[in-house]
């Protein structure tokens, strides 16, 4: 049985040939919309918009070719001031997944540098217009896999850092940018985890879990070896599963880097609200309650409070609460 994944309609370039077959979803069936090599026209876009369709579907087997196509256009899209923000966000999301996929397949200096080059223009756009962050929340996918999870965590954690340090003069734009790279690469150590474990449909055995728990150490080693990022990024990778009460891993430490604490909140939140093979997604407000219970210091409580305000979840009728749940 074929598997499909959604892609934002905004990343399909008008008047260009499609590099893959495109489908739309109707009554739980995937219906052909545009064949490989077909031209995507403005009239088709208008028709999709008329029916409220903002995403199309591609075969999972075509994901790499499609992501490469978007990645090729992404730099021009992200730096062109005439292109609408929603198109930039969609291009960034797909392009960053592609860059991360390549980095985790072969985490060398060149791949790490490519991720930095993908993230930098969107980070600068966000710093100029923080409203973009809310729009990015709305396009996150919550069908859990290593790549979408890493991008989602990167978006949430970067947003949290920007909001939390907004009035702290000691944390400038350069520091936030360096943190941003670390948030998106927090799980890079999973490239060392065997695929049989990483892609297992269901809960891990005790032996498999022991292997999985080593990924923060592997991530730290990879980021320190490449030398393309600051120590902050490496500490984010190594400590994002540590907990203030010492119950985390890999070392059970309680003295945790502030950036790693920011990443931990984003990491737990996205994992809880995502669909997994062995569990249904949790409602965002329920996920926040779990995160609140894990906060063991004034610093962590303040981070969670900022996160709630950032997502608009202190007002249950807010649009952000709905977008975070799917």
Read off the CATH number of the domain in which 318 is found: 1.10.3210.10
DSSP string, 205-238: PHHHHHHHTTHHHHHHHHHHHH--S-HHHHHHHH
Tokens of 305: 């409070």
Predicted pLDDT at 143: 66
- Please confirm whether the linkage preceding 67 is cis (ω < 30° from 0): no
Predicted pLDDT at 314: 67
Predicted pLDDT at 261: 95
53 lies in the same domain as 155? no
Residue range of the domain that includes 44: 1-62
In angstroms, rounded to a whole number, what is the distance separating the alpha carbons of residues 154 and 320?
17
In angstroms, rounded to a whole number, what is the distance separating the alpha carbons of residues 106 and 123?
24
187 lies in the same domain as 299? yes
Residue 78 lies in a domain: no
DSSP string, 49-111: HHTT--EEEEEGGGHHHHHHHHHHHHHHHHH-TTS-HHHHHHHHHHHHHHHHHHHHHS--HHH
Predicted pLDDT at 144: 67
267 lies in the same domain as 308? yes
Predicted pLDDT at 318: 40
Residue 67 lies in a domain: no
104 lies in the same domain as 214? yes
Predicted pLDDT at 66: 92
Residue 262 lies in a domain: yes
263 lies in the same domain as 192? yes
Predicted pLDDT at 325: 41
Mark the ranges of the chain whose per-residue pLDDT is less than 50: 316-326
In angstroms, rounded to a whole number, what is the distance separating the alpha carbons of residues 99 and 262?
23
Predicted pLDDT at 41: 95
Residue 200 lies in a domain: yes
194 lies in the same domain as 245? yes
In total, how many domains does the chain have?
Answer: 2
In angstroms, rounded to a whole number, what is the distance separating the alpha carbons of residues 178 and 183?
9
């Amino acid at each position: 049985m074929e598997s499909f994944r959604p892609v934002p309609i905004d990343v399909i370039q008008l008047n260009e040939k499609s590099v893959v077959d495109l489908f739309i979803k109707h009554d739980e069936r995937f219906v052909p919309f545009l064949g490989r090599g077909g031209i995507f026209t403005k009239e088709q876009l208008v028709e999709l918009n008329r029916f409220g369709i903002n995403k199309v579907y591609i075969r999972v087997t075509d994901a790499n070719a499609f992501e490469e196509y978007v990645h090729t256009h992404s730099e021009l899209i992200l730096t062109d001031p005439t292109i609408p923000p929603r198109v930039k966000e969609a291009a960034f999301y797909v392009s960053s997944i592609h860059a991360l996929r390549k980095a985790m397949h072969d985490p060398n200096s060149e791949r790490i540098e490519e991720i930095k080059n993908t993230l930098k223009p969107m980070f600068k756009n966000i710093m100029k217009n923080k409203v973009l962050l809310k729009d990015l929340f709305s396009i996150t996918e919550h069908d859990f896999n290593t790549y979408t999870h890493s991008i989602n965590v990167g978006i949430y954690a970067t947003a949290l850092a920007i909001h939390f340090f907004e009035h702290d003069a000691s944390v400038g734009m350069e520091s936030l940018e360096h943190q941003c790279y670390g948030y998106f690469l927090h799980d890079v150590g999973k490239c060392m985890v065997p695929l049989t474990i990483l892609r297992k449909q269901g809960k891990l055995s005790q032996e498999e879990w022991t292997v999985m728990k080593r990924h923060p150490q592997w991530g730290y080693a990879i980021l320190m070896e490449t030398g393309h990022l600051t120590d902050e990024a490496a500490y984010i990778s190594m400590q994002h599963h540590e907990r203030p009460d010492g119950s985390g891993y890999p070392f059970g430490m309680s003295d945790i880097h502030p950036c790693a604490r920011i990443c931990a909140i984003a990491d737990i939140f996205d994992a809880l609200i995502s669909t997994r093979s062995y569990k249904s997604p949790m409602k965002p407000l329920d996920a926040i309650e779990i995160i609140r219970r894990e906060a063991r210091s004034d610093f962590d409580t303040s981070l969670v409070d900022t996160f709630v305000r950032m997502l608009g979840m202190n007002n249950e009728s807010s649009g952000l609460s709905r977008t975070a749940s799917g």
